[in-house]
Structure 1
Amino acid sequence: MKHRSTPLIAALATLGMASPAWSQTENLDTFVVSATREARDPFEVPASVDKINQNTLEKAASFQVNLSETLTRVPGLVINNRNNFAQDLQISIRGFGARATSGVRGVRLFSDGIPATMPDGSGQISHFSLSSTESIEVLRGPFSSLYGNSSGGVILLTTENPRVGTELEVNQIFGTDSTRRSGIKLNKGNQEVGIVIDASTFRTDGYRDHSKARRDNFNSKMVWNLSSDTRLSWVVNYADIPLARDPAGLTAAQLASNRRQAGNNTVANNTNKTVEQSQTGLVLEHKFSPSTNVTFSPYYGDRKIRQVLASTAVIDLKNEYSGADLRFGHQTSLLERPLFLNAGLTVGELEQARLGFFGASTTPNRDEANTASQFDQYLQAEYFFTDKFSVLGGVRNSSIEIESNDQFLSNGNGSGSKKYDEVTGNLGFTYRLQPNINTYISYGEGFETPTLLETAYLSVAPPSPNFNSQLDAAKSEQLEVGVKAKFGATKVNAALYTVDTDNEIVVLAANGGATSFQNAGSTSREGAELALQHAFNTQWQANVALNYIRATYDTSVNSIQAGNSLPSIPKKPFLVNWSTSLQACMRQPQNCGMSTSCLPTMQTMPLPLPTRW
């Protein structure tokens, strides 16, 4: 995939007020929770996992609007930024998610513990509050499957926790094509309670004709330290995209003549998309004892989407979603060696009202009430045979049901439903060759159900909505071997992997904006990843990410021939991303030269809340 970024000329201004530091908690900047659900050093776990911390995000000198601005340093992750705010980023991890025609598929997304991926596997990221993000974790490989349906990879975003003291930050960023972003962030807290409020607005006229867009985001996080053993967090999130014009795609000839022009019929039919989303969730953490804890995370949200296509078709979606996750953690011993256990339940429900129109007509030609639900149970254990040798394993039982109730019957009854039940497991071993070198091998099973959108058409000739009950879930097996090493100021992570998938879900046909899907037999992927990180001194740090992937069909189905490459996965065998970050300018702006990362820092300390469970 090719990435194109609009030239950025940014000027940032920050105003800060800070209170004296009262206390300091353990620094967990480098700890991850995605692989084990416990705060762990990624060097110790048998999985490929990367964490982008707040320090790195702040020095990216970006608009903090899209994940593609900072996550290019993660190997195995490809983010195709269309620079089109009417079309979401296309995110794929080791090929999972590459088939997505809209939104995110095959990759599980979370923001502050609230799923941004619905039970059917469809995901959205436009509401992610990047300007108040504390960290982003990216988990790849076999252990992703422990998150259930459509977990070819996992992205966990966590926003800032409040700190003791008062802090106000105002920022303004400018770019080409009348691009600008304004933001304000307030932190206020004491020993018992604190809150972070972040609001921003982003506007652009767009690089291309008919690509003007606006996005407003609001995120708040309130934390109560109820006792020394209990913490309650309340997250409220709101995103509004009142305008996102869609310039659509260009032919090769159009691109050569004028790459800024809009696609066919886009201006005449005013192709555009509007989105409004609000959600809220609680995270209650309690420690019964130093070795036993429980976490309960209920959430609720709604998302409204209206999109006008070049064909004059209008899509009107209203989604309501809710759910909860209940997890127990326990630390014990077996044969006088440490044993860590995690068990949990996950429930989720999506209710979708879907209407369809043509042109300016107010009479719908499509009316459906769709639902998707999940009920999962999982268990994970980690055991240390010796100080050098450990095993991590898990099992998950998932039940997913999707249903479409057709309420527009003049073209026939297209209702239908299907239930998918699957038990998946994973297992990994870690062996420490040297104090600074770990090796590991891991295996995992995963599955991916078709989404409500992908089951909408049994055939597109003619394009009449009819639930496609013939689609089965894709099932995959992953094997990964890797090595992690630390050599002074240098960190090296290397991994080799294979992925074998049965019933891969791919496009069958497309007509007039409608797309039908099919199962395509078996496919295989094999790849290699290498991540290098080196700190030259306290001021300079460099990162290099190297990816190789080969993805092909193993069987022939309809027009698909065995040996063909899977679509939307990079055809060039190697992808290399590199970046550098400068830390000294945070306190010595005169050393920055032309860097746009020079921001004054505000020295406040985190609330003295329990951070490691």
Structure 2
Amino acid sequence: MTAPFPLVLRPVVWAAALLCASSAQAQSSPPQAASVDSGALSPVVVSVERGSGGLWRGATSVDVVEGEELRDGQAQVNLSESLSRVPGLVIRNRQNYAQDLQISMRGYGARATFGVRGVRLFVDGIPASAPDGSGQAANFPLGSADRVEVVRGPMAALYGASSGGALLLYTEGGQQPAQWRTGLVAGSDGLWRLSTQATGQTGTAQEPGWSYVVDLSRFETDGTRPQSAADRTTANLKLSRQHEGGRTVLVFNRHSSFALDPQGLSRGEFDDNPEQTTSSALTFNTRKSVAQTQLGLAFEQALGNGHKLELMGYGGQRQVVQYQSIATGAQLPAGSSGGVIDLDRDYWGWNARWRHEGDWQGGRLSLSAGVASDFQSDKRKGYENFIGSTLGVQGKLRRDEVNRAETLDPYLHAEWRTQDLTLMGGVRQTRTEYESKDSYIVGNNKDDSGSKRYKATLPVLGARLQLNPSLQAFASIGKGYEIPTLNEVAYRSGGVSGFNTSLNAARSTSAELGLRGRAERTQWSATAFEIRTDDEIVVQNNTGGRTTFQNAGRTLRQGLELSGQTRMGAVGWTAAYTWLRAHYRDAFMTCTTTGCPNANPQVQVPAGNRIPGLPEHQLFVQAAWDMGWAGSRLTLEARHVGRVAVNDLNTDFAASHTLFNLAVQFKQDHGDWTLREFIRVDNLSDRKHAGSVIVNDGNGRFFEPGAGRKLLLGLEAQRRF
């Protein structure tokens, strides 16, 4: 790869120089140790020395958002509430709980119209992403989170295929004294959340027993628009026990939800009244229900002389029923899968790893080698969403198949570090097998069975150099690999039913170069990156309830990430800025009409068009003033998002917008009791805006309206025993 940063290096140097000058007289602060509770459940080894907000000695971009930051003055319902402070991450609340959050990282995952693609999700080391790369963040237990780690850049490839980035949530560990807390949040649109957490440890301080963490929560909302009400119930349990030289961890999670689907709005509908819901959502009563149960077990054992064995296994079941608004006429042709999705998924996986750590050549050497495997089996049925003239009900069977995905990934990772230098390298070979067995072969509906294999070797290298006690530089480079999901290979060219064996994985080369610094009250980072991709996966046709994908040519993503935190007296400042230029380097053909005549796309997407779903600019600024009365804190936030293309043709854009949020928090300690209260107002100016977009929507309903001015009240009581 030649000249990876010709356009974006100078802004990094300029920004870093200013930040260095501002903190040159300050003294460096000591690092903070990472939580010891990640242990055997960590999916990939990372540097464990953690400073406030990031990993100090790592050779890659990793930001850490602590559990208190996730919860303070927030509804604790969505990750989007608190992760806007992370540069390079686009995370938006669609105000549609039937479709989950919209998450992308450095441009990966932008094409997802529902769920998460291209970004791997983990909770206590257990994947919340399926082997095909699709995932959901709805079951993240924010109420008991210890931290969320946001991994960006080339090193994310060590998490497997479709890892343009990774979000890793770790729950807190039980300890003595035991703690109990209960929180209630209520606000506009009938929103409320009630949650309870209990943590503790059996036994005595001299002979501790099992540590436990229990997290129960219930959430409901009437929604911001008609047909957008939702509810969610979650239960999360973690048990862990230390034994001689090791630890055993058991994790259980139960999640159930029901959500009406308001869908997006067309340009005309959005301009006329963004608080309305399109008529088809009401006519078909679009909705989605989910039930998921999951169990995980991890074991680690020291073997002596710095060697350790780590084993992890998990399994679960997920059931989804979703009613769509596909027109009845579009369901009549042979091969249609209908307008009702009925999915029953069984999934499981395991990870076995050897790890060694010891002194070598004047530094600390960490080595690990392992094998990870994940499996999913989807029993997928499709039904018509009508019976006669009655719409929004389950009708005749139109699809009956079993789709399977299985991965087997060996990997190696090595890191050598001293006070002034870190060298890091790794490689992961990712192998994924898809198989689809069709059991619905009726009349003109042919056998749509098929299979496909994807395989790639992903090497990554990184280095960190400490220039002085308060300043260091880092760089990394590596290969990336994004496989299409099972949904994306469901239809062949032209929207014809059947396994799309011609759809290949996208391959990329990613590089980053950055500076980071810290002082007594200040820390900052500045990172430039470039990603060159071949065979980008794009939409070929999206009509009649079917989306067909194809491989386009080359794409280029170049970006700059700046972030910083500082404290001036009683006021703490946090800022994050992202500049991202993401475009197609090659022209390709796409369809805009039903059926895509003769399976031959008719419309050209010109080279240079922007990749949709991605803002060029994104800014977060927060000022938090500790007022000193009754533990009070006043927080003011500003969030700016640049304009966003809604489709590959760039025929329309969601306008840029800036939102202001205000919160007041209080805290009182009364012996073993702690009380917390907050009042929060989001979108103070009641700004009309598109909170997110549905990329390449076949009906032109691209716009998902953001919420107007909203009030939120919260109360939490905590008791120590």
Please name the residue that 1:543 is paired with: 574
Q: How many pairs were matched up?
A: 569
Selected match of 1:566 from 611, 632, 635: 611
Please name the residue that 1:40 is paired with: 49
**What whole-Å deviation, never above 9, does each CA across 1:52-105 have from its counterpart, x for those lacking one?**
01221232x111111100100000000121111111111000000001121100
- Whole-angstrom CA distance in 2 between matches of 1:404 and 1:597: 53
- Whole-angstrom CA distance in 2 between matches of 1:215 and 1:388: 48
Please name the residue that 1:76 is paired with: 88
- Whole-angstrom CA distance in 2 between matches of 1:306 and 1:460: 27
- Secondary structure of 2:178 counterpart: strand
Please name the residue that 2:462 is paired with: 428
The 5 A counterparts of 1:478-557 are: 478-537=510-569, 540-557=571-588
User: Residue 460 of structure 1 contacts residue 511 of structure 1 at CA under 8 Å; is this kept in 2?
Assistant: no
The 5 A counterparts of 1:194-205 are: 194-205=211-222
Q: TM-score of the superposition, structure 1-length normalised?
A: 0.89
Selected match of 1:597 from 659, 662, 665: 665
Distance 1:590 1:451, change over 3 A: closer
- Secondary structure of 1:55 counterpart: helix
- Whole-angstrom CA distance in 1 between matches of 2:84 and 2:632: 28
Please name the residue that 1:349 is paired with: 375
**What whole-Å deviation, never above 9, does each CA across 1:109-140 have from its counterpart, x for those lacking one?**
10011101111111111111111111000010
**What whole-Å deviation, never above 9, does each CA across 1:160-179 have from its counterpart, x for those lacking one?**
11121332212110010111
Mapped pair 1:381 → 2:423:
no
Distance 1:534 1:398, change over 3 A: same
Write the letter of the residue equivalent to 1:53.
Answer: E
- Whole-angstrom CA distance in 2 between matches of 1:560 and 1:252: 21
Please name the residue that 2:302 is paired with: 287
- Whole-angstrom CA distance in 2 between matches of 1:321 and 1:432: 44
User: Residue 502 of structure 1 contacts residue 522 of structure 1 at CA under 8 Å; is this kept in 2?
Assistant: yes
Q: TM-score of the superposition, structure 2-length normalised?
A: 0.76
- Secondary structure of 1:267 counterpart: helix
Shift of 1:225: 1.8
Q: Which runs of 5+ in 1 are unaligned?
A: 1-25, 605-613
Please name the residue that 2:500 is paired with: 468
Selected match of 1:233 from 212, 232, 249: 249
The 5 A counterparts of 1:433-472 are: 433-461=467-495, 464-472=496-504
Distance 1:391 1:525, change over 3 A: same
The alignment yields a C-alpha RMSD, in angstroms, of 2.2
**What whole-Å deviation, never above 9, does each CA across 1:149-191 have from its counterpart, x for those lacking one?**
0110010001111121332212110010111111111223132
- Whole-angstrom CA distance in 2 between matches of 1:238 and 1:290: 40
User: Residue 245 of structure 1 contacts residue 272 of structure 1 at CA under 8 Å; is this kept in 2?
Assistant: yes
Distance 1:540 1:57, change over 3 A: farther
**What whole-Å deviation, never above 9, does each CA across 1:497-519 have from its counterpart, x for those lacking one?**
10000111011101112100000
Write the letter of the residue equivalent to 1:522.
Answer: R
The farther-off stretch of 91-100 and 402-411 is 402-411
Mapped pair 1:578 → 2:593:
no
Please name the residue that 1:122 is paired with: 134
- Whole-angstrom CA distance in 1 between matches of 2:672 and 2:535: 53
Shift of 1:492: 0.9
Distance 1:343 1:264, change over 3 A: same
Please name the residue that 1:169 is paired with: 181
The 5 A counterparts of 1:249-264 are: 249-264=264-279
The farther-off stretch of 487-496 and 326-335 is 326-335
The 5 A counterparts of 1:49-448 are: 49-59=62-72, 61-190=73-202, 191-227=208-244, 229-241=245-257, 243-289=258-304, 291-311=306-326, 313-359=339-385, 360-384=393-417, 387-410=419-442, 411-448=445-482
Distance 1:590 1:392, change over 3 A: closer
User: Residue 283 of structure 1 contacts residue 296 of structure 1 at CA under 8 Å; is this kept in 2?
Assistant: yes
Write the letter of the residue equivalent to 1:136.
Answer: V
- Whole-angstrom CA distance in 2 between matches of 1:324 and 1:28: 24
Distance 1:66 1:398, change over 3 A: same
Distance 1:545 1:592, change over 3 A: closer
- Whole-angstrom CA distance in 2 between matches of 1:83 and 1:438: 40
Distance 1:85 1:387, change over 3 A: closer
**What whole-Å deviation, never above 9, does each CA across 1:352-411 have from its counterpart, x for those lacking one?**
011101123443100110000000011111124x64233110011111111111111121
- Whole-angstrom CA distance in 2 between matches of 1:304 and 1:125: 16
Please name the residue that 1:22 is paired with: none
Distance 1:515 1:176, change over 3 A: same
Distance 1:230 1:239, change over 3 A: same
**What whole-Å deviation, never above 9, does each CA across 1:536-583 have from its counterpart, x for those lacking one?**
34x54221000001011111222222111111111xx32111224456
- Whole-angstrom CA distance in 2 between matches of 1:38 and 1:345: 20
Write the letter of the residue equivalent to 2:412.
Answer: L
Q: Which runs of 4+ in 1 moved over 6 A?
A: 30-35, 601-604
Shift of 1:487: 2.6
- Secondary structure of 2:269 counterpart: helix
User: Residue 460 of structure 1 contacts residue 514 of structure 1 at CA under 8 Å; is this kept in 2?
Assistant: no
Distance 1:549 1:34, change over 3 A: farther
Shift of 1:289: 2.9
**What whole-Å deviation, never above 9, does each CA across 1:466-498 have from its counterpart, x for those lacking one?**
110001111110111000111321101110010
- Secondary structure of 1:365 counterpart: strand
User: Residue 592 of structure 1 contacts residue 598 of structure 1 at CA under 8 Å; is this kept in 2?
Assistant: no
- Secondary structure of 1:265 counterpart: helix
Distance 1:596 1:226, change over 3 A: farther
Write the letter of the residue equivalent to 2:583.
Answer: T
Distance 1:541 1:517, change over 3 A: same
